[in-house]
Structure 1
Amino acid sequence: MITPSTPDLTASVLPPVIGVVASQLFNPYQQKVLDEVTRQLNAHGVITVLLNAEADTALTALLRQASPLALRGLLLLPGNRVTDACDLPVLDIKAEPALQADALRAGEVTAELLIAQGHQTFGFMQSQPGERAQKQGYSTTLQAAGKALNVELTAEGDDRDGAYQVMMHYLKKTRAAERIQALFCESDLLAFGAMQAMRDFGQGAHLAVAGFGDSEEARSSTWHLTSWSSDISQILGNAINRWLGQPAEISIGQGQGQLQRRHSHFGKILPGEMSACGCAFRH
């Protein structure tokens, strides 16, 4: 049974070791979270061991191999889990209320921006079927404004190729007059794939697009992607401090992300800064 108990960091004269369970490390958001988690654990005097396992059986084997290290606990990056048989203290980052609240707020603010641009029909792209905090906030805000979430696209994986395929299929099967005007994506990777599909499809196809994660690539002139930037340093810091039995670092505006506005949320090329940007001719 998974236990939320606090890891014992004083049971040995050796530095305590905590396993960080991760997979899909090609994902820039995962990389950002991994970097922050290891940095903060190291600052607590904890040695981290990366356990790259996508399946329960792989993780069980890794834990068996790591038994000489006497792991004090496991920290799960988003998208990872452990079996109920695990008897170590576990911190599941994805389940953190502050992280869920941040994703919910991302959907709300993104919807407000897209509505303000005058878009009338809206879509959401996700990696897997199911509910997402981003989608919930997005859909609720659209409904409050008298709009609707018209289309839900599922890429069957958090990668740009899956997003590319599902968006290309949508463009091919949907008449131009019936297509959505704006699309919010669960991650930047999905947004990149969707935008590339629009460019390759041609025929004047263009949707306003917004992402989540504010990756380094999102800021490039290739994409100029409008994307939600989470304050993961504060959110993860408070979660780790609480898990280790230490007081949280309270600060003004803690955990409040921001929407980084660039060009991708516009419905067409606008004069001024956008027309001079490298992304303009790709819209």
Structure 2
Amino acid sequence: MARDPSSTRKITASDVAERVGVSKWTVSRAFTDGASIAPDVRERVLQAAAEMGYSPNLLARSLSTRSTRLVAVVVDELGNPNQLFLINEATRQLQARGFSSLLLNLSPEYGPAAALRLADQFQVDGIMFMGTSLDEELIELAQKIRRVPLVVVSRNSSLSNIPYVTTDGYAAGAEIADLFLAQGHRRIGHMAGPPSARTELRRLDGFRDRLQACGVPLTCILTSDHYRREQGMQSLLKYLESTPRDQRIEALFCESDILAIGALDALHLSGNPHRIAVVGFDDIEIASAPPYELTTFRQPTAYLVGEAIRRILDADAVDAGSLMAPGTLVLRSSHRRLA
């Protein structure tokens, strides 16, 4: 049996206008916040649209308004649970403001040039950068794309013309150093995540500077190529295998919780649970789980994301500049000195 074309034809603004007895431009105004239209007319248009199954074509509207209501969210470490939390918060807040997000996942196979070309093709209204490496190519491309606002989230930007919103990592690192020193730890190490270009966390700087100011040098810096549990575990296992027991660190500050979770797993596998005190950063969900009881530093994620979005979308905040917010030290048990 032949299909009835009318059953699948998309309802248009003209169809709604014809039923209500208004122009299609009046239908458009009914779906536009702040547009000039009588309340009773708006109500009749919206009711007819609901009955007919009509919804406005946002892509078509963007041609006339020059706003796609689309913001690109650029990431490159999806193995880090905190990155997923950031993405969830960004998409939630954007949707609450009537915007959609375009997720661009950078990788060795899909670099910044390809990502920014896609952002250009979709004519995004702004870019939220949540990756580890804000390289020159990405910055140059972002600035060529209609001067799109670019804001770095949860990291510091070393470029004066690229604003950032982040936790004060320097102050956080110093507070974690004080915590270890108060516990009596003196051989203290740090586990860093992947190296970055043009962005930084400042957590290690604050941590090392406070230790040195108290006469305690940083014993070692362990490294991980990615923010993943396996990387943190292997990094500490390698250290334990290569370092005599009497020379090992007593405490370890990890740049992120997922690395800290890996470090705690390494201690368990090596038969040394709680032998080294561990502190993380981010306060991801698993940090409070009984096997870990991870002491960590919580970032004000919802506030940071909101400030990033404000700098992209609000005309009075475009030139607001960078922001560093205080976080909160969350005490559990992993930082304590072994009795």
Query: TM-score, with normalisation over the residues of structure 1?
Result: 0.80
Aligned partners of 2:77 and 2:131 also within 8 Å: no
Aligned to 2:314, the other structure's residue is in SS state coil
Aligned partners of 2:277 and 2:336 also within 8 Å: yes
Q: 1:142 to 1:231 in 2, by over 3 A?
A: same
Aligned partners of 2:67 and 2:125 also within 8 Å: no
Q: Which of 176, 183, 190 in structure 2 is aligned with 1:110?
A: 176
Q: Which of 230, 235, 249 in structure 2 is aligned with 1:166?
A: 235
Aligned to 1:155: 224
- Say yes or no: does 1:54 pair with 2:123: no
Greater mean alpha carbon deviation, residues 9-18 or residues 148-157: 9-18
Aligned to 1:119, the other structure's residue is in SS state coil
Cα distance, 1:165 vs structure 2:
1.4
Tell me, in whole angstroms, the C-alpha distance in 1 between the residues paired with 2:272 and 2:95.
52
Q: Which of 282, 289, 292 in structure 2 is aligned with 1:213?
A: 282
Tell me, in whole angstroms, the C-alpha distance in 2 between the residues paired with 1:162 and 1:138.
22
Q: 1:66 to 1:141 in 2, by over 3 A?
A: closer
Greater mean alpha carbon deviation, residues 83-92 or residues 133-142: 83-92
Q: 1:11 to 1:128 in 2, by over 3 A?
A: same
Q: Please give the root-mean-square deviation of Cα atoms over the aligned residues, in Å.
A: 2.7
Aligned to 1:45: 98
Tell me, in whole angstroms, the C-alpha distance in 2 between the residues paired with 1:203 and 1:232.
34
Same amino acid, percent of matched pairs: 32
- Say yes or no: does 1:239 pair with 2:308: yes
Q: Which of 19, 31, 55 in structure 1 is aligned with 2:72?
A: 19
Aligned to 1:145: 214
Aligned to 1:18, the other structure's residue is in SS state strand
Question: Which residue type is aligned with residue 175 of structure 2?
Answer: V
1:206-265 deviation per Cα after TM superposition (whole angstroms, max 9, x unaligned)? 1000000100000100111001001122222223212323556xxxxx932101100100
Tell me, in whole angstroms, the C-alpha distance in 1 between the residues paired with 2:210 and 2:64.
50
For 1:25-36, list aligned pairs within 5 A: 25-36=78-89
Aligned partners of 1:15 and 1:45 also within 8 Å: no
Greater mean alpha carbon deviation, residues 35-44 or residues 164-173: 35-44
Aligned to 1:5: none
Greater mean alpha carbon deviation, residues 145-154 or residues 90-99: 90-99
Tell me, in whole angstroms, the C-alpha distance in 1 between the residues paired with 2:111 and 2:253.
34
RCO higher in structure (CA 8 A, sep ≥6):
1
Greater mean alpha carbon deviation, residues 20-29 or residues 50-59: 50-59
Query: TM-score, with normalisation over the residues of structure 2?
Result: 0.68
Aligned to 2:186: 120
Tell me, in whole angstroms, the C-alpha distance in 1 between the residues paired with 2:109 and 2:304.
27
Larger Rg: 2
Total equivalences in the alignment: 256
